[in-house]
Amino acid sequence: MTLTSPSDRPDPADRAEAVVAEDAVALGGVPVTAEAVDEAVAPAADSGRMSRGEVVQALSGLMLGMFVAILASTVVSNALPRIIADLDGSQSVYTWIVTTELLAMTATVPLWGKLADLYNKKLLIQISLALFVAGSLIAGFTPDVGVLIVSRVVQGIGAGGMTALATIVLAAIIPPREMGRYSGMFGAVFGVATIAGPLIGGVLVDTSWLGWRWCFFIGVPFSLAAIALLQKTLHLPSVRRAGVKIDWLGAFLITAGVSTLLIWSTLAGQHFDWASGETAAFVAGGVVLLALAVWVESRADEPIIPLGIFRNRTVTLTIVASVLVGVAMFGGTVFLSQYFQVALGKSPTVAGLMSLPMIFGLLVSSVVAGALITKFGRWKIYLVAGAIIMTIGMLLLSTIGAGTSVLMISIHMAVLGIGVGMLMQNLVLAAQNDVPAAELGAATSTLTFFRSMGGAIGVSALGAVLAGKVTSGFAEKFGAAAGNGGTAEVPDVSTLPPQVLAVVKDIYGTATAELFLIGAPIAALAVIAVLFIKEKPLSTLSGDERRAQEEAAATGIPLH
């Protein structure tokens, strides 16, 4: 088969115009339906669409970039104690090294999504990778915790662009009808990077000739390779929209409002009480900023988050489900590494290896579900089944304790991974299939944004619950004095006497199980949300082809 070069391909808008005109003539000038145009454009679109080989080459660069961007959020989790000790940081810095990156990534996702609707997606994704490289290098060479926190912000901005743009580019070059297999791969990459981070970080820290700085350096060569690969393989039509302005005020208000609420959820329960004057100030400030953002967005010509997309039932329900998945999955699983090390007494490397069953379950279910969606064109069944299995996994993990066998824990984790793999990425597919092509970027980034925000709030809120349970457990077992300082530091189990060690393990095992018991009903709400999503046939046109078709119809192309 001979492949056409990008320069030889006809412009999508021209192909759409030709097909619309021919279809109208064939129908005697009668206005055509959307279904007729979709059917008529498909054969013509195929002639200029990227071949499967070209798509696979381009996606290899996207998945490489996605992997290192997500990895940056979790790879430091097992390295933090060593980092804090080497840089003479305080306990309060411990949390901020993680949360600053997550804050920057979450808050900037909507802006990246809007930029993708207005400007060249290929250039934007390369800029996001370049920012990630810069942040990684600064972090790796950091002399103190202040510089490290700043570098994590830069990393987060780049990672936010990568996570938003990768899915947007995927929708631009692949029709929803064929996207199942590819979105399954992306879901697997996302999940594996999220869960494998602690394993990789633990190995790097435990390897004497590498050390914690390589937790940041490790992503640099892969990011540079992704930039070069995308430059060579990714062919997207240039987007030129004259006179368009970014709603910077709306972007600022959204970022400020979300950051205020995320900072509150990070600090509450640790630095001040949930019910306190500080909580009232943070929540009121965040709500006011977001209310102003809604007011500004409703009047902007080019809003960062088009409020009209929330009138779409599918988008709204997938957003609700994504928030719930973020709260349940991230809020529960992020503390499993601590459970392995404290309640089970495992090393950082072994604790990372114990996450493999969840990785395997997520990887297999994501890829298999994606392939089946592509083959049969049905997708809702996998959303419902995934949400139910995820809830079952959370319930199973709510039964763990200090004496639970590794085999049983592995089975429970595998069940949770299977459910998340079937659900997470296919929520994006459902939303992308049901919005106009011109809003693909905004809808995708909004979904990603709310999932990340749900994860951040889940980690913070459930972390506070864990701290409270551990504190009360210490107070009950060792007296009020121990309880008052019980959450200041995670105990070094290697230094504890056997009798005390058994009690500490039981405290952490019980507290971790209660997190999953809280997360289970949250996951069950996701089941309800996906049940109300209406299944619609998957389009056979890529995002770029749909956009050309929509623009042709909007500009009133002569039907002759």
Give the count of beta carbons closer than 10 Å to the beta carbon of residue 287: 13
Query: Domain check: are 85 and 214 in the same one?
Result: yes
Query: Domain check: are 394 and 414 in the same one?
Result: yes
pLDDT for res 16:
41
Query: Domain check: are 263 and 253 in the same one?
Result: yes
Give the count of beta carbons closer than 10 Å to the beta carbon of residue 438: 16
Give the count of beta carbons closer than 10 Å to the beta carbon of residue 388: 19
Q: How far is CA 258 from the centre of its chain?
A: 16
Would you say residue 241 lies in a domain? no
pLDDT for res 130:
92
Would you say residue 2 lies in a domain? no
Would you say residue 5 lies in a domain? no
Query: Domain check: are 87 and 163 in the same one?
Result: yes
Which residue did the predictor score with more confidence, 481 or 137?
Answer: 137
Question: Token digits for 507?
Answer: 């405290």
Query: Domain check: are 293 and 393 in the same one?
Result: no
pLDDT at 391 over 80: yes
Among residues 446, 547, 441, the alpha carbon closest in space to that of 117 is found at 441
- Domain end among 256, 287, 303: 303
- How would residue 7 be classed by pLDDT, with cut points 50, 70 and 90? very low
pLDDT at 421 over 70: yes
pLDDT for res 21:
39
What's the structural domain count of the chain?
A: 3
Range of the domain at 476: 50-236+304-541
Of the chain, the percentage scoring pLDDT greater than 90 comes to 13
Q: Are 202 and 347 in contact (CB under 8 A)?
A: yes
Torsion of CA 499, 505, 511, 513, to 10 degrees: -130
Question: Token digits for 448?
Answer: 């990603």
Reduced to 3 states, what is the DSSP secondary structure of residue 14? helix
Query: Domain check: are 319 and 388 in the same one?
Result: yes
pLDDT at 270 over 80: no
Query: Domain check: are 311 and 274 in the same one?
Result: no
- Domain end among 279, 303, 327: 303
Query: Domain check: are 195 and 284 in the same one?
Result: no
- How would residue 396 be classed by pLDDT, with cut points 50, 70 and 90? very high
pLDDT for res 332:
63
Query: Domain check: are 430 and 399 in the same one?
Result: yes
DSSP 538: P
**First CA to last CA distance, the chain:** 34
Q: Which residues neighbour 50 within 8 Å (Cβ) at sequence distance 6 or greater? A: 58, 173, 235
Query: Domain check: are 425 and 438 in the same one?
Result: yes
CATH assignment of the domain containing 188: 1.20.1250.20
Would you say residue 3 lies in a domain? no
Give me the amino acid identity at 434. Answer: D
pLDDT for res 45:
41
pLDDT for res 35:
43
Among residues 432, 445, 448, the alpha carbon closest in space to that of 542 is found at 432
pLDDT for res 92:
56
In terms of C-beta distances under 8 Å and separation of at least 24 residues, what long-range contacts does 487-494 make, across chains too? 487/270, 488/91, 489/91, 490/338, 490/342, 491/342, 493/341, 493/342, 493/345
Which residue did the predictor score with more confidence, 212 or 408?
Answer: 408
Query: Domain check: are 176 and 314 in the same one?
Result: yes
Give the count of beta carbons closer than 10 Å to the beta carbon of residue 550: 16
Reduced to 3 states, what is the DSSP secondary structure of residue 268? strand
**Interval 294-312 mean pLDDT:** 83
- Partnered with residue 272 across adjacent β-strands are 268
For 451, counting Cβ atoms within 10 Å of its Cβ (0-12 exposed, 13-18 middle, 19+ buried), the class is buried
pLDDT for res 392:
95
Would you say residue 172 lies in a domain? yes
Would you say residue 327 lies in a domain? yes
Q: Are 11 and 44 in contact (CB under 8 A)?
A: no
Query: Domain check: are 259 and 392 in the same one?
Result: no
Would you say residue 6 lies in a domain? no
Give me the amino acid identity at 132. Answer: F
CA distances from 532 to 68, 308, 376 (A): 35, 20, 21
Across 36-40, 166-170, 306-310, 472-476, least confident range: 36-40
pLDDT for res 512:
87
Residues in the chain: 560
Would you say residue 363 lies in a domain? yes
Q: Are 219 and 72 in contact (CB under 8 A)?
A: yes
**How big is the CA angle at 289 (ends 275 and 464), to the nearest 5 degrees?**
30
